[in-house]
Amino acid sequence: MKAYERFLSYVKVHTASAEDTEQTPTTACQFDLTHLLAKEMSELGMEGVYEDENAYVYGFIPATPGFEDKPCVGFIAHLDTIPDFSGENVQPRLIENYDGGDVVLGDSGRVLSAEKFPHLAALKGQTLIVTDGTTVLGADDKAGIAAAMTACERILTESIPHGRVAVCFTPDEEVGHGAALLDLQRLGADFAYTIDGGELNVINYETFNAAAAKWDIEGFNIHPGDAKGKMINACLVAMEINSMLPSGEIPGKTEDHEGFFHLTDMSGSVEKASLSYIIRDHDAGCFEARKKTMGLIEKLINEKYGEGTASLSIREQYRNMAEPLSARMEVVDIAKRAIAREGMDPATAPIRGGTDGAQLSFRGLLCPNIGTGGYCFHGPYEHITAEHLETAANIVLNIIGEISK
């Protein structure tokens, strides 16, 4: 089966995860894809196929006789789509021999514009896969699943010599839970790759250091006619807190290795207000400085308005996986050689976010990220080509081949 054929079947399964819940998976619908994949793995002849109670699904291909001494490589992709844009009732559309121009996305009123997305010109002549403009497509990360499954089928049917291969598909990556309950002992991999990126020639081994910050602000409400010297408007204090952060260090004004403070949510009244931020930086020292900046603002606000006016809590989310990977760059070099075998120039780039691989690398499983060839993830303009899906599967096969030399 072609990778794009698998992909089209996977994206029709609703798997959106959910925020603000501690259960895993955060949504029961993710089990639907887990069950489908477990069945497909078994039918392909993979061994040790296992679904657990948290919607993780594992499958294995034993080493070719004589290759048992080769490292066991793992491939990981996630089941879920983002919670804040619909992934239900996905209607993918194939455009064969795409002309490189604008694409009207169903009756949604949205247009995939060649002017806004100039990379479309490079996709001319390929089979473009788009949404109808009302949902995500689900290439993040069902393209990764399709690439892994297609590579596994080819190994099993084409008698390609290989070491042991381990595959795991995880829930809840989009809400930061995906790697937490992955059973590393069951997986048994010496190292692994997440298949969860964009450009096919790019390998990611650097992520942000990440934290979430929550502000709770207590105001003092009194009749406005008698408020002088007494009223503390919590909403205005919240605005003051935000104004004390550097205005240029936000996602819309930063790139590459530049960090930021990102205000994700705010609410309030005169009496109470709240602010939610995410804090990001690739550099560990700068990351610590950003957290200290938040702490200093809390101190200054409480000195100005009274102790207890502002309460700050900071929760660390993940760390930059370059820290463990920098000592084992041969894992990245294997992926570079695999990409070069497809006639592309391999490159590395920092992820302006995080992946399951960040958590896994700190849990002891080195896990850089490779691309799927998809574009415009997390929204209605998401798209990919059938050809890129096949190339992603080829890169997985090439990694296995490089390890098995």
Active centre residues (catalytic): 80, 173
Please identify which residue in the block is written with the tokens 């497809």: 342
Interacting residues of 362 by C-beta distance below 8 A, sequence separation 6+: 318, 319, 321, 323, 324
What does the chain come to in residues? Answer: 405
- The SS3 call for residue 76 is strand
160 and 154 in contact (C-beta within 8 Å)? Answer: yes
In order of 76, 186, 204, 347, the CA distances from 321 in angstroms are 16, 22, 9, 17
> DSSP of 256-280, one letter per residue?
TT--EEEEEEEEE-SSEEEEEEEEE
Tell me, rounded to whole angstroms, the distance of Cα 31 from its chain centroid.
19
Give the number of other CB atoms < 10 A from CB of residue 263: 17
Please identify which residue in the block is written with the tokens 């809400």: 175
